[in-house]
Amino acid sequence: MKEAFLKACRGIKTDYIPVWFMRQAGRYMPEYQKIRQKYDFLTMCKTPEIAAEVTLQPVKILGVDAAILFSDILIPLEGMGIKIEFIEDKGPQVSPTIRTFSHLKNLREIQLEAVGYVFSAIKILVRELHVPLIGFSASPFTLATYVIEGCSTKEFINTKRFMFSEPAGFHKLMELFTEATLKYLTEQIKAGVHAIQIFDTWAGILSPLDYEIFVKPYVKRIIDGIKSVPVIYFCSNTSGLANHLKELNANVLSIDWRIDIKEAANLFKSYSLQGNLDPLTLLGKEEELFIRVEKILIDGKKAKAHIFNLGHGVNINTKVETLKKLVDFIHEFKFVEV
């Protein structure tokens, strides 16, 4: 198995910079679209053979250094009695919503057998892959936002109303999701994943104080509970939360493009860093793309270790050829010794 990704996760400098992409298995890829024409998204997630095939596609085509399981961050909700639907152009729809303490009765402890297809797909993949496999879940807070809002949103009005009007109820919700996430990720590790990424996608909407109160203790509990494999923590808009992120004890911090990676290396000295190219750079001129990629690679050398990635997922309009050139450029990049 190729070891560069796992070495970088553990803070070991590598001969070349390993690279993978969030959302690398997905809609931008013609091979994916052929399968998607036959099945809806959730059916693909719930059919281990299909999920494994889609996971393998970018590894074979792009030559990335790690695979990430084809699934969805909200899958744990299905094991807790919450219904998820994915509607074209609207995204995930979640029901029933939980917006008060009294609604918590609609949520049960996670039943792992209800999401057993995830672990079956992992077992298939660890037999077939020659690169490490990344398992993942949404963080408790991100799960909470979808259950409270019922869909994607940019304002999070209901989430913050619940937090500020019934803080005890919100903490109880976070307790439930923390226990569920810990069980779900532990089962992924048992099935064979080599690393875990926690997607705290929406934690950046919070003030540092509210992150400290409502998010940090729960994320820390999960990370401390799954240290048998490297843990990557992803959160958008990280710079305002820097003092708290330093204390999470994850192995890798995945950063978006809103912070310079050189600045992040100075802020987060104990972390390996993952990132941090703006995904939409891939839609522009190649000359501009590789100027930015080179800067990230050079500045990323200041980190404890560096894994190249995007600051968010691959955009649907990205060309496969562009991503392949990007992977080759990163693998072949020669650092000039000063």
What pLDDT, in 10s, does the model give residues 129-139? 999 999 999 99
Residue 338, in any domain of the structure: no
**Which of 76-90, 153-167, 180-194, 289-303 has the least mean pLDDT?**
76-90
Asked, as a colleague might, if the bond just before 76 is cis with ω within 30 of 0, I would say no
Residue 294 lies in a domain: yes
Q: Structural domain tally of the chain?
A: 1
The answer to whether residue 134 is domain-embedded is: yes
Q: Would you say residue 55 has pLDDT above 90? A: yes
* Per-residue confidence (pLDDT) for residue 338, from 0 to 100: 53
How many other CB atoms are there within 10 angstroms of residue 336's CB atom? 5
**CA-based nearest residue to 6, from 253, 255, 252, 311:** 252
Q: Is residue 163 part of a domain?
A: yes
Catalytic machinery residues: 23, 27, 36, 72, 146
Q: What is the pLDDT of residue 301?
A: 95
Which tops the pLDDT comparison, 164 or 91?
A: 164
Predicted pLDDT at 236: 84
On whether residue 337 sits in a domain, the answer given is no
- The pLDDT assigned to 337 comes to 66
Q: Which domain does 113 fall in, by range?
A: 4-332
Mean pLDDT for 251-275 is: 95
CATH number at residue 150: 3.20.20.210
Residue 268 lies in a domain: yes
What percentage of the chain exceeds 70 in pLDDT? 99
The residue among 146, 139, 69, 53 whose CA lies nearest residue 107 is: 146
pLDDT score of 1 more than 80: no
pLDDT digits (tens, 9 = 90+) for 212-233: 999 999 999 999 999 899 999 9
